[in-house]
């Protein structure tokens, strides 16, 4: 029996995020074949680990991917600055880029919100870990009532924040804040990130604070939020709301305004990284889900074309 058709995927970046994604693809390949694991450091622990698992590797980074000639899509797990250099070359080669950095070059994608809206794009931006965790909840509220303001605070274990995360904090706050508006539906959005040095390390925790534009149906908000949590859990099993939405109010110059507070926790799946690294796991899980959707669409289109010929 012939093996089912798959898209050939490469991972660019051999650090923690790239390594966790590699284990996800090996354990749950679905419609993807991991054809190359590429970085730029020949002494990389990630490259050594991949080689031991029988995954094709290279220390020539983007050049190796472009020279392979048969890669369909690339997960870029490097940095925002590096992705700005990578994106034009990948687009010219006709290779779809799934961007796990906060470079924000292509359309922003959150699987539980707009998974199929941009599957034809050459570059798909996964925003940030805080964005993947919190935008679904803000958007769930905005489906029930207009949101005047949304603020999120993502707190992650300091040991789960590698050099790339630390270098990209400015990009994190800007990109996530903009995503609260463009995807979450808030008129104004603000994002903050906190690196917590506690030992033992904490799980990723997120506080979502929303000021609706007017009165709303509390039960409808709760139903919308619970439905969205279930959708995210379908690809991030450790995603959990810590209690019911908290409904309150504040005094402003315009008078009393209602508020909604949501407390969220993300536990990693432990594919490679420890379970406290939910901030990294939600990125790799989202990337995996987006890639599977791209493969579904492409392979289905190919099958239809073949049937017609």
Catalytic residues: 129
List all residues 6 or more positions away from 69 whose beta carbon is below 8 Å from its beta carbon: none
Helices (H) and strands (E) counted in the chain, each on its own, are 10, 12
3-state secondary structure (DSSP) of residue 247: strand
List all residues 6 or more positions away from 289 whose beta carbon is below 8 Å from its beta carbon: 111, 115, 235
**Partners of 81 in the beta sheet?**
none
Contacts 24+ apart (CB under 8 A), 217-221: 217/144, 217/145, 218/245, 218/247, 220/144, 221/140, 221/141, 221/144, 221/145, 221/245, 221/260
In the chain, which residue ranges form alpha helices assigned H by DSSP?
16-27, 45-52, 61-68, 80-92, 111-114, 129-142, 163-167, 169-182, 218-233, 278-308
Torsion (CA) 124, 291, 230, 128 in degrees, nearest 10? -40
């Amino acid at each position: 029996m012939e093996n089912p058709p798959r898209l050939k995927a490469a991972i660019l970046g051999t650090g923690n995020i790239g390594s966790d994604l590699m284990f996800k693809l090996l354990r749950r390949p679905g419609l993807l074949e991991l054809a190359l694991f590429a970085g730029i450091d020949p002494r990389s622990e990630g490259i050594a680990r991949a080689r031991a698992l029988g995954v094709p590797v290279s220390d020539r980074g983007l050049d190796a991917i472009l020279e392979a000639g048969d890669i369909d899509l690339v997960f870029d797990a490097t940095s925002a600055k590096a992705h700005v250099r990578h994106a034009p070359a990948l687009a010219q080669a006709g290779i779809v880029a799934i961007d796990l950095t906060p470079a924000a070059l292509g359309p922003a994608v959150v699987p539980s919100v707009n998974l199929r809206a941009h599957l034809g794009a050459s570059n798909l931006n996964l925003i940030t870990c805080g964005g993947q965790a919190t935008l679904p909840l803000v958007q769930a509220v905005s489906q029930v009532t207009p949101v005047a303001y949304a603020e999120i605070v993502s707190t992650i274990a300091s040991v789960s924040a590698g050099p790339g995360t630390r270098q990209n904090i400015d990009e994190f706050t800007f990109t996530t804040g903009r995503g609260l508006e463009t995807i979450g539906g808030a008129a104004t959005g603000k994002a903050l990130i906190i690196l917590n040095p506690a030992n033992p390390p904490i799980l990723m925790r997120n506080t979502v604070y929303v000021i609706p534009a007017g009165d709303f149906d509390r039960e409808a908000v709760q139903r919308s939020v619970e439905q969205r949590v279930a959708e995210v859990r379908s690809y991030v099993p450790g995603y959990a709301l810590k209690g019911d939405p908290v409904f309150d109010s504040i005094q402003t110059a315009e008078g009393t305004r209602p508020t909604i507070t949501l407390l969220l926790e993300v536990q990693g799946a432990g594919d490679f990284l420890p379970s406290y690294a939910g901030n990294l796991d939600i990125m790799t899980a989202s990337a995996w889900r987006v890639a599977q959707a791209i493969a579904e669409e492409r392979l289905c289109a190919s099958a239809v074309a073949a049937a017609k010929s």
